[in-house]
Amino acid sequence: MPKSQNDKLQGTLTLLILRTLESRGALHGYGLCHHIHLVSQDLLQVEEGSVYPALHRMEQDGWISAEWQITDKGRRAKFYTITALGKRQLEQERENWARLTQGVERVLRYS
Amino acid sequence: MPWYKRWQNVWRPEALNHELDQELAFHIAETVDTLVASGMTQRDALREAHRRLGNYCLQKERTRDMDISTWLETLRADIQYGARQLRLNPGFAVIAILSLALGIGANTAMFQLINAIRLTSLPVKDPGSLALVVFGENSARAGWWSTRSAEFTSSQVDVLRKEQQAFDEIGVWSAARFDLTTGGEPRYAEGLFVSGDFFQTLGVNAAMGRTLTPADDRESCEVGAVVSDSFWNRELGADRNVLSRQITLNGQTFPVIGVTPPSFFGVEVGTRYDVAIPLCADRLLADDKLGRAPVQAAWWISVLGRLKPGWTVEKASAHIESISPAIMQATLPTSYKTDLAERYLKNRLIVRDGSTGVSGLRRQYENPLLILIGTTGLVLLIACANLANLLLARATAREQEIAVRMAIGSSRFRIIRQLLTESLLLAVGGAVLGAGLALVLSRGLLIFISTSNNPVFVGLGMDWSVLGFTALLAVITCLSFGLLPALRATHMSPVAAIRSEGRGASASREKFGLRRALVATQVAVSVVLLVGALLFVRSLNNLLTTDPGFQSEGVLSVSVNFSRASFPEERRIDLYRDFQDRLAAVPGVTSVAQVGFTPVSGSGWDNAVGPDNTPAAGSGKDSWFNRAAPGYFKTMGTRLLAGREFTERDVRGAPKVAIVNEKFAQKMFDGQNPVGRTFRLEAPAGQPEQTFEIVGLIANTKYRQLREDFYAIGFFPVAQDENPGAGANYVLRISGSPGKVMEQAKATMLQVSPSLAISFLPFSQQLEESLLRERLIASLSGGFGLLAGLLATMGLYGVIVYMVERRRSEFGIRMALGANRGQVMKLVLKEALILLGIGLPVGIGLSLWTGRAASALLFGIEAHDVATLAGACLLLAVVALLAGYIPAMKAASLDPASTLRAD
């Protein structure tokens, strides 16, 4: 199986980011990418650059909030946390994802 | 990040950039750290980190677009760019903004006036449920009309109140004018007689004290006065203790019981009330101490009602119409004879929307204002066409720039949007300046139509509807002058534009056609405006030069009121005589005569006439009447054609005599000499008709207004008046300064009694004021017509100059091949002629079509007057050819050699 280009599946990136932030608390962009790589065991290769427009858009929508903090290494980084609104959105995205996979699964199985 | 942050970011682009860089730099630094830790060299790690991130600039831009309100940012950039473009060409910007300011300002001023007198609701509680009760059209009513906008007699309203079910409350009022002085030259306050429930019906509460209540309008009539805020400020010095003060109205004192809020000006748009007193007070101020309420045919009050919930104007109207017969039946004046009585019983009352109150000003100025706003609208249109033309020329000059921008990937929409932003800047500049101009202009117009005798008050605020109108104008003008050039500019394919190197060889023909069409439109529209202007100016001139049948110059009219001095009725004829003698003795007065009322004052009195001893009632002939003393016609300069003037012997007891005019003779006696013949005058029911002998024939004179065709008029001697009133009017022919005469006349009259009210008005001023409306239309339409012609000429000039510029090389070749100067000039002038040839006929057609709207306002001239049409066209043609002549001369003096070399 080739590595999935996640941004080809509309909205998947949002789902991944929201879920990651929900489980891991505050993260900066790099940490987010890193975490997704690790957890998906390199199956999902996020194009790193596209994470930032997505993060900023989600911040606009109020799903996540951002804060500048100093990292352990003493660098300034922008940390993102999920908001209550973002959690509701995550539920929504999860359901959508479940429906999508279910649908695809059924087509594969029965047609 | 909420929307305001995104807006905010538009204004801090640098800081935003810095943040994004920081965030991405952190990402790269972290990646590098990880890669180096896994054994990569620093250099390779850095390259790999960038590769993983993707296109740095693109990612950064995409991220940035999320943080910023892009449309706002583009707008900001467009505005900045547009402003820079305009600064590069300040002459164009100034001309554009000024001409738009003039056009938008004039339109806004007209709209302000229309809004104020026609559209704005009364400043009272829930004006939407107010309704007026009025008589239907062609109603038969006769009797004593003593105030403007009167509709009803007192008894009719009493019955109406009992019978109607449509209204919760009914308020009744009557306009009046009260003299505030106790003698000498009167100072008037605009007064209202109101019913006790008037203020309650309107829902107006007092700002201080209380308003009138039904308890004030009783038989006993122990009355107080409610004053307006402006009166309180002006006459009572904004005194906080005003409730303990008294004011004098026509010699009677009234305690002040309340002050209304500043916003409340009454129910008549165009007038601001000063003092309101109960209806019953009419009796106290009346000469006969009875007033108008008990008089059956005294039309003096108006009715406004508050509709019950759920009642519409239509439903109320149907209801009131259905109860009209009962009301008429119950109130039929006994003086009405059979045919009038029959017609009276058929009268129908209707209900009209009352949310905007009543207004004589509205009746008088509604149509002129609509015509004037049409005029200003057309002027704005011409100004827009001019700007469109200028922008088209600019677009041609910028063809290269636009082509390059499109070639490197700019979308057509984006460029159009940017060009329109430039136009919008001009339009907004024009609108802001125009709004300021409108404030000055509309106030100026009000001052123009306001006279000391008839002050006009209209609340002119910059309210939302006016601001909205101005904004709408700005947008419409922006689109109308900006859109076409913008579409044109981006129309060509970049390749073609670049290849033609800005000379637009292929597209110029089409583009030029558009500019021609614009100029032809301008010419056509300015023909319409010039024709309108000439019509109104000539109409005014006709009114000014029409022979009114008297010589107004050097005549001073004097009005005396002695109701406060309480002279008994039997002494009044002698008193009239005494006043006349006193006035005659004033130095500078060459002749004096008393008159019932001065002509062209708006007053009038008509009655049925039976020529040669036939019954007057039912004769179907009627005439207008007045009273005059001996010497009146000589004083007024009216020609006596046959017979004699009244003499000292025409007094009570002597044979009843009359002097009539030519029209009267024509109408009653088929144009034969009426002197020595008689006529009968219709009398109230139950009284015998009186017979009068005609002793003199005079030339026709104007009666009520200068615009009218001559009426049939009969004069009776003042000394034979059986019911002499408590006032008298005199006309004085004077030589020398009227100021001195007025001073001495006042002094000598006040010797009779210090409580007399005396006022003066030069007769020529009275005539002038009667033409204010005509003067307003003539001067405004004249001004706008000239402006339109000027703008159209500028447009024409511009297009021809442009054409000459474009065809330089062609002219050069023609001249090199042997064409002479004359032939080249002809080529250029032909262009002007073509534009005129299209514009003028279209303009004439439009003028004929729109002329009908104006015909009601014209005097002595038809809307399709050939000379006027020809004059307007000729004027425009001459100016336009002159405008074409200058570039033609320039074209003819081209040097063929240098022209060709320049290519």
Residues 6+ apart with CB under 8 A from B653: none
Contact yes or no for B59 and A60 at CB 8 A? no
- Cα separation, A74 vs A82, in Å, equals 24
- B27–chain A Cβ distance below 8 A for any pair: yes
Q: Residue B267: which of B332, B320, B195 has the closest Cα? A: B195
Chain B residue with minimum CA distance to A49: B53
- A7–chain B Cβ distance below 8 A for any pair: no
**The CATH fold of domain A6-110:** Arc Repressor Mutant, subunit A (1.10.10)
Cα separations in angstroms, A72 against A23, A69, A77:
20, 10, 10
Region of B706 on the Ramachandran plot (φ > 0 left; ψ -120 to 50 alpha; else beta): alpha
Contact yes or no for B59 and A50 at CB 8 A? yes
Interface test with A, best of B16, B17, B24, B26 (most A CBs within 10 A): B26
Selecting from B30, B56, B63 the residue whose C-beta is nearest the C-beta of A30 gives: B30
Please tell me the total number of residues recorded for chain B in this structure: 903
Question: In A3-103, which ranges are E strands?
Answer: 27-28, 64-70, 76-82
- B70–chain A Cβ distance below 8 A for any pair: no
Residues 6+ apart with CB under 8 A from B318: none
Predicted pLDDT at A5: 43
Single-letter residue type at A97: W
- Residues B33-40, mean pLDDT to the nearest whole number: 89
| ipTM of the prediction | 0.85
Position B718 confidence tier, pLDDT thresholds 50, 70, 90 = very high
- A67–chain B Cβ distance below 8 A for any pair: no
- B404–chain A Cβ distance below 8 A for any pair: no
Residue B359 has pLDDT above 80, yes or no: yes
- B26–chain A Cβ distance below 8 A for any pair: yes
Range from B159-173, B443-457, B546-560, B702-716 carrying the lowest mean pLDDT: B443-457
Contact yes or no for A53 and B65 at CB 8 A? yes
- Cα separation, B375 vs B782, in Å, equals 10
Question: In A2-109, which ranges are E strands?
Answer: 27-28, 64-70, 76-82
- Cα separation, B115 vs B356, in Å, equals 11
- Residues B88-109, mean pLDDT to the nearest whole number: 89
- Whole-model pTM? 0.80
Q: State chain B's mean pLDDT as an integer.
A: 88
Q: Residue B757: which of B254, B182, B6 has the closest Cα? A: B182
Residues 6+ apart with CB under 8 A from B411: none
Give yes or no for a contact between B591 and B632, defined as CB atoms under 8 angstroms apart.
Answer: no
Single-letter residue type at A87: K
Residue A10 has pLDDT above 60, yes or no: no
Contact yes or no for B24 and A52 at CB 8 A? yes
Q: Residue B379: which of B428, B423, B424, B430 has the closest Cα? A: B430
- Cα separation, B359 vs B366, in Å, equals 10
- A78–chain B Cβ distance below 8 A for any pair: yes
Selecting from B2, B26, B66 the residue whose C-beta is nearest the C-beta of A28 gives: B26
Nearest CA-CA distance, residue B414 and chain A, Å = 24
Contact yes or no for A60 and B23 at CB 8 A? no
Beta bridge partners of B353: B131
- Residues B147-158, mean pLDDT to the nearest whole number: 88
> Which pLDDT tens digit goes with each residue over B656-686?
999 999 999 999 999 899 999 999 998 877 7
- A28–chain B Cβ distance below 8 A for any pair: yes
Residue B139 has pLDDT above 50, yes or no: yes
Contact yes or no for A75 and B56 at CB 8 A? no
CA atoms within 13 A on the CB side of A20: 25
| B67 chain-A contacts, CB cut-off 8 A | 56, 60
Contact yes or no for A53 and B59 at CB 8 A? yes
Residue B6 has pLDDT above 80, yes or no: no
Nearest CA-CA distance, residue A79 and chain B, Å = 10
Position A13 confidence tier, pLDDT thresholds 50, 70, 90 = confident
| A30 chain-B contacts, CB cut-off 8 A | 26-27, 30-31
Contact yes or no for B29 and A50 at CB 8 A? no
Contact yes or no for B26 and A48 at CB 8 A? no
- B148–chain A Cβ distance below 8 A for any pair: no
DSSP B828-849: HHHHHHHHHHHHHHHHHHHHHH
Token pair 């831009």 in the structure block, residue: B61
- Cα separation, B427 vs B477, in Å, equals 7
Phi, psi for residue B425 in degrees, rounded to 5: -60, -45
Predicted pLDDT at B498: 63
Beta bridge partners of A68: A78
Show the tokens assigned to B637: 């300069």
Count interface pairs A-B at CB distance under 8 A: 66
Contact yes or no for B59 and A29 at CB 8 A? no
> Which pLDDT tens digit goes with each residue over B308-336?
999 999 999 999 999 999 999 999 988 88
Query: Is pLDDT larger for residue B96 or for residue A45?
Result: B96
Residue percentage of chain A with pLDDT more than 90: 31
| A52 chain-B contacts, CB cut-off 8 A | 20, 23-24, 27, 59-60, 62-63
Range from B54-63, B325-334, B410-419, B737-746 carrying the lowest mean pLDDT: B54-63
Residue B2 has pLDDT above 80, yes or no: no
Predicted pLDDT at B219: 82
Region of B631 on the Ramachandran plot (φ > 0 left; ψ -120 to 50 alpha; else beta): left
Nearest CA-CA distance, residue A31 and chain B, Å = 9
Q: Residue B189: which of B178, B204, B175 has the closest Cα? A: B178
Going by DSSP bridges, is the β-strand pair B640-643/B690-698 parallel, antiparallel, or unpaired? antiparallel
Interface test with B, best of A34, A46, A56, A85 (most B CBs within 10 A): A56
Contact yes or no for B27 and A75 at CB 8 A? no
Residue percentage of chain B with pLDDT more than 70: 97
| B27 chain-A contacts, CB cut-off 8 A | 28-30, 33, 48, 52
Burial (Cβ within 10 Å: 0-12, 13-18, ≥19) of residue B819? middle
Going by DSSP bridges, is the β-strand pair B130-135/B302-307 parallel, antiparallel, or unpaired? antiparallel
